[in-house]
Each structure stands twice: as structure tokens, then as C-alpha cells.
Structure 1
């Protein structure tokens, strides 16, 4: 198979139906500074895709482009195409609010709303009109908290503030909040970096449970985490995508020397 220099590791033999999001030749600028240089990557429907690489290499910038979070930065500009189910998410007719319901985001630092646990989950479905009445809303709240592995811990204190939970619980609450609007893709920007090892293990277990229901993309500083939770890995360096492929290949048989050097700890 020929490898396009801009698309290291894209597998042209994959069925289009397996691809949820497709990025081609994406460059991202902050003013005159180019943060991402012609990156092409596929996000698969039933896989966890990990973005790895040293700090400042562009992984989070690229992740935020997948649901147009960079729109909130006045100097940011995106070139190239990013498609969700074949539809260009940067097309002028794209409803960004709807896009962000379909492509949810979980941030590095848990950021529950200063509301009750119940309201944290109910807020999205309510504004998107996903529930007819209180009974349906109650069901969505319970289902989302169950999927996030949090229901048994909070079911008796749904009126307590979400900010009163522990850090790991807050992060699972934020994942439940993302799930509640029935997304198709969940983006996670270093979701465990603020958490202790026990909370991290719970989030990783949760990611494994959610795989197959959602396409998941995770930015992580931890190569061990990428190896544990993902099926595909993209290695970024200085705004370039160096290598992209099956996680097992990237970690045991990388094609690029820079990948080998990063994985063996020579830099980063």
C-alpha cells in the first residue's frame, strides 16, 4: 500500500462504514503560527483512538478541531476537511450546537456545572428537547449515570452539588453529562491527568465499557494508557502526524524512527 506523506498509516482497505470521522490535510493556525500541519486521520466507529506525543505537539489542538471547539479562539483558523458521517463539519450550514451534541467533549480538569448531580445530567437533554417530561428525564439521568459507572455511588444524593464529588467522580459525572445527549463521538482531552491511580483505573475501565457504543478519541500523555485503552494510535510531533496505525503496531513495530525514539523514552 502506498503511504501518502501527509497521511502516514491511513488504511485504504477499511470499509467507509467503519469510519465515523475523517480528517484530510487539516492545518490549524493561531494567527500566523501553524500549530497543525496537514494532518489526515480516521476515527473509527467502534474503536478508541489515542493521540500521543510530547507536550505542545498539537494533539489537543487537533482534538478540539473535531467538534469546532477552536471556534471559540478568535485567532484560530482551520484548513482542510473534517467530516462526520461524510458531512463537512466546517460547512457554512453546519449547526455547531448540534455538532457538539453529536461530538461530545470531556476536558482535562473535571468541570461539573455548579448545580446538583441531577441537573448536571438533565441540562443537556432538556435544552436539546430529548425528554418529554420528568419521567423521561429521570430515565436519561439514571441511564447516563449507570453507563458512567456512577449511579450506585450517587443515586441517594442526586440533589447534592456535582462539585462536592471527588475528582474521579466529577470526571465520571462529566462523562455521564456528555453521554446524556446521546452523542456519536466522545472526545477526551487527557481525562485522567488530574486524577489519582485508582480514579484513573476506573476511567480507563469506563472507556473500555463505552467502546462500541461511541467512537472515542483520547489525548493522553501516558503511553501506557494509550496501550491499555486504544485500538488505534496517532503519534504527533511538532504539529505533524508522524505515524498512525493499530496501537499494537505503533508500540511494538513502529515504522518511523521518531516514533521508536519517543516510545523508548529518548525524548518527550
Structure 2
């Protein structure tokens, strides 16, 4: 009989973390949010949040359900624009440029700041067309050969090429849940983004698929600035270098992941990571 594999505890996840080798003095701030508030009508969902997103880091947003972490994530590529009642105040800059400025091309912004959602959402197209769609729309390939190269490179970076290279014309929706999520990551990579936002990318996946996504996130770190929303503190401890703890729409604490989990400066952070609420 196979023994049930238990996921590591938070303490074990912290203990097993690789040493962070990023020199923060030379790490580039890719996105900078200052005093950002998000409203749905008159209701304030996010209250004056300030966070830096570094190119060389994976940044994790943690906190209880409904605390605003996904709302803030969506503000980073203006996904909240799709909600008529939503409005944003404060500033969010990408490479020093205000993404909410009136002249900002939102389509181009979302190519530069890609999004991977909680539930895998491949297009009802072939695996090949799922990847090729973005580069075609944005004019990134001049011909079929160049498009083939982009598709293969994106699937390789997403750790999916060897599993699908012989069935690229099969529907993307025929893949397993974990494969679909990696396909969605490959689709985001295909338009050569600078930032990848991931909104609980493993919440619908089994432990084996989750482990593959986490390995992929680690492989992609440094190529892209990555921000991940997760309900799992263990996952944040495993994959991120910086962690932001949200509670009731406020940013309670933000810093190095190891510090947040082993030496938090705020009582609310301590209470959350020790399970007193959440």
C-alpha cells in the first residue's frame, strides 16, 4: 500500500528554502506601486498599498480570503478596468511609466504584464494556436517558421514541449489540469512579457501538478518579474523571495519571505502565520 505523502509544514518549507542569492542593491525595481487604493463603487477594497516588484524576485501576496490580494494583483495590469464600477487611485509604474496614464495602450500593457488565472483557461483551439495567437495579434512573427520557433520556445520554457510536441494540433482543452495551466503560462510567455502575474495558479491542481508549476516558477525567476497570489503559506515560502501580507484591504507587512515567516514585525502577521485566524 502506498503511503500518503504529507505536504511539508510551514517550518519545513522555510527550512528547505534555497538561500536567496539576489543582490538587492543591484536588483531592478520593475514595478512600483505607491498609495494605491481600489474602489468598487464607493466601497474601498484596497487602502493605500505601496509595494515594489523586483525583476529578480518572485513576490508572493498572502492573506485570508477577501483580503484584497487578487484585487491588487489585477490592478497591476489594469484588469480591474473590465469592471465598470472599479476605480483606482495612487500610482503604479512599470519601468517608471504610469500605467494608468491617459496615453497608456492597455493592450500593449497586458502583453508586457501577463496574467495567469486561478482556473486554467486555454482557448478552445489547438495547443499550437493557443501559443501562436498572441504573437500573431501583436505582430511578433513574420512567417510560419518564426511562429513555429516562438511556439516551441514558449512550450519549452513552460516545461511542456516534450509532453505535447507530437500532438500540437490537439485541442488545448484536452490536456490535464496541470498541463492546461502550463499551457496558459506558455501562452503568456509567447508575447515576451516583462512581468507575469499569477492568481492562485495551483489552487485547482493536485499536488504533483502543483509541484511542477512551482518548479516552473523557480525556473522562470530572473527571466521575468513574477508576482503570485497564494492561499498557501507553504507555497509562498517555497517559491518567493519577497512576501506581502494583506488583511482587510490593507498591506500589513512586506519584506523578505524568510523574515515575514520567521521574524514578522507586525502582530497581525504573527497571528496569521501561526494560524490564529485565516
TM-score interval, smaller chain: over 0.9
CA shift for structure 1 position 34: 0.2
Q: Secondary structure at the match of 1:195?
A: coil
Counterparts in 2 of 1:37 and 1:7: CA distance versus 1, 3 Å = farther
Q: Which residue of 2 aligns with 1:4?
A: 4
Q: Secondary structure at the match of 2:135?
A: helix
Q: Which residue of 2 aligns with 1:28?
A: 38
- Contact 1:8–1:243 (CA under 8 A) maintained in structure 2: no
Matches of 1:85 and 1:249 in 2, distance apart?
A: 27
- Contact 1:105–1:187 (CA under 8 A) maintained in structure 2: yes
Q: Which residue of 2 aligns with 1:181?
A: 191
CA shift for structure 1 position 247: 0.2
Matches of 1:165 and 1:6 in 2, distance apart?
A: 26
TM-score with structure 2 setting the length: 0.91
- Contact 1:7–1:40 (CA under 8 A) maintained in structure 2: no
Q: Which residue of 2 aligns with 1:218?
A: 228
Matches of 1:234 and 1:8 in 2, distance apart?
A: 21
- Contact 2:114–2:195 (CA under 8 A) maintained in structure 1: yes
Q: Secondary structure at the match of 2:272?
A: helix
Aligned CA RMSD, in angstroms, stands at: 7.7
- Contact 2:92–2:100 (CA under 8 A) maintained in structure 1: yes
Counterparts in 2 of 1:261 and 1:63: CA distance versus 1, 3 Å = same
Per-residue displacement from partner, 1:199-218 (whole Å, max 9, x unpaired)?
Answer: 00000000000000000000
Q: Secondary structure at the match of 1:192?
A: coil
CA shift for structure 1 position 8: 29
Q: Which residue of 2 aligns with 1:261?
A: 271
CA shift for structure 1 position 265: 0.4
TM-score with structure 1 setting the length: 0.94
Matches of 2:5 and 2:91 in 1, distance apart?
A: 17
CA shift for structure 1 position 4: 46
- Contact 1:189–1:220 (CA under 8 A) maintained in structure 2: yes
- Contact 1:150–1:172 (CA under 8 A) maintained in structure 2: yes
Matches of 1:5 and 1:239 in 2, distance apart?
A: 35
Matches of 2:206 and 2:63 in 1, distance apart?
A: 21
Q: Secondary structure at the match of 1:27?
A: strand
CA shift for structure 1 position 145: 0.1
CA shift for structure 1 position 18: 1.2
Which stretches in structure 1 are left out of the alignment for 5+ residues? none
- Contact 1:25–1:81 (CA under 8 A) maintained in structure 2: yes
CA shift for structure 1 position 12: 11
Q: Secondary structure at the match of 1:20?
A: strand
CA shift for structure 1 position 7: 33
Alignment of 1:191-202 (within 5 A): 191-202=201-212
Matches of 1:241 and 1:34 in 2, distance apart?
A: 13
- Contact 2:8–2:234 (CA under 8 A) maintained in structure 1: no
CA shift for structure 1 position 88: 0.1
CA shift for structure 1 position 239: 0.1
Q: Secondary structure at the match of 1:235?
A: strand
CA shift for structure 1 position 2: 54
Counterparts in 2 of 1:162 and 1:7: CA distance versus 1, 3 Å = closer
- Contact 1:47–1:232 (CA under 8 A) maintained in structure 2: yes
- Contact 1:7–1:41 (CA under 8 A) maintained in structure 2: no
Per-residue displacement from partner, 1:128-168 (whole Å, max 9, x unpaired)?
Answer: 00001000000000000000000000000000000000000
Matches of 2:2 and 2:160 in 1, distance apart?
A: 46
- Contact 1:8–1:242 (CA under 8 A) maintained in structure 2: no
- Contact 2:9–2:234 (CA under 8 A) maintained in structure 1: no
